[in-house]
Structure 1
Amino acid sequence: MPLYYFHIRNGSDLEQDPEGSELPNLDSAHAEALIVARELAGAIPEFNNDTVIEIADMNGKILLLVPFSEAAKLGSVEQG
C-alpha cells in the first residue's frame, strides 16, 4: 500500500508528518485528511479556514492540498 504524509501548513508554519500512513489510494488519503482537519480545527484554535493539509507521497511530492475550509463545509452539510 502507498504511504501518504499529512503535513499541516498554517500560514508560514509547516508541521511535517514524520511517519505517514499506509492507505489504499489518494481518495482514501483525501477522506482521512478531511477527518483530521475537522478534528484539529475543533481542538486547536490557531487552525482556521486558511490552514491546509498537504498530502505528500514518499518522495515528498505534494499530491493534494486539503483546506480546513473544505472539512468545515463538509461538516456543516453532514450536520444539516
Structure 2
Amino acid sequence: MSIFYLHIRDGELLLADVEGQEFPDVEAAHAEAVRSAREMLAEKVKLGEIVDGQEIEIVDEAGDVVGLVPLKETFRVA
C-alpha cells in the first residue's frame, strides 16, 4: 500500500490534503479522485456555482503529481 494525497486545485488556490490515504496503487487513488470529484461537482451544481478549471491533483509520497482529475471531465451526458 502506498500513500497518495488528493489535493484540490482551483486556479492558483491549492487546498492540500495533508493526511493522505493508503491505496494499493495509483489506479485506486485515481478511482477515489473521480468519486470525490463527482461529489464536489454535484454540490457545486446544487449551489449554482461555476465549475471551470477545478481539479484534483493525485500526488504520491515523493511529492510528484501522478494524475489529474478535472471536475468537469467527470460529468457525462448520454
TM-score range (shorter-chain normalised) is 0.7 to 0.9
* Number of residue pairs matched by the alignment: 75
TM-score (norm 2): 0.84
| Aligned CA distance change for structure 1 residues 19 and 47 (closer, same or farther; 3 Å) | farther
% of aligned pairs identical?
40
- The equivalent position to 1:68 in structure 2, one of 71, 74, 78, is 71
Give the ranges of 4+ consecutive aligned residues of structure 1 lying more than 3 Å apart after TM superposition: 44-47
Gaps of 5+ in 1: none
Q: Is contact 2:41–2:72 with CA below 8 Å preserved after alignment?
A: no
Query: What displacement does 1:26 show?
Result: 0.9
TM-score (norm 1): 0.83
Which position in structure 1 is the counterpart of 2:26? 26
Hey, which of these two has a bigger chunk of helix by percent?
1
What is the CA RMSD across the aligned residues, in angstroms? 1.6
Q: How does 1:10-49 map to 2 (within 5 A)?
A: 10-44=10-44, 45=47, 46=49, 48-49=51-52
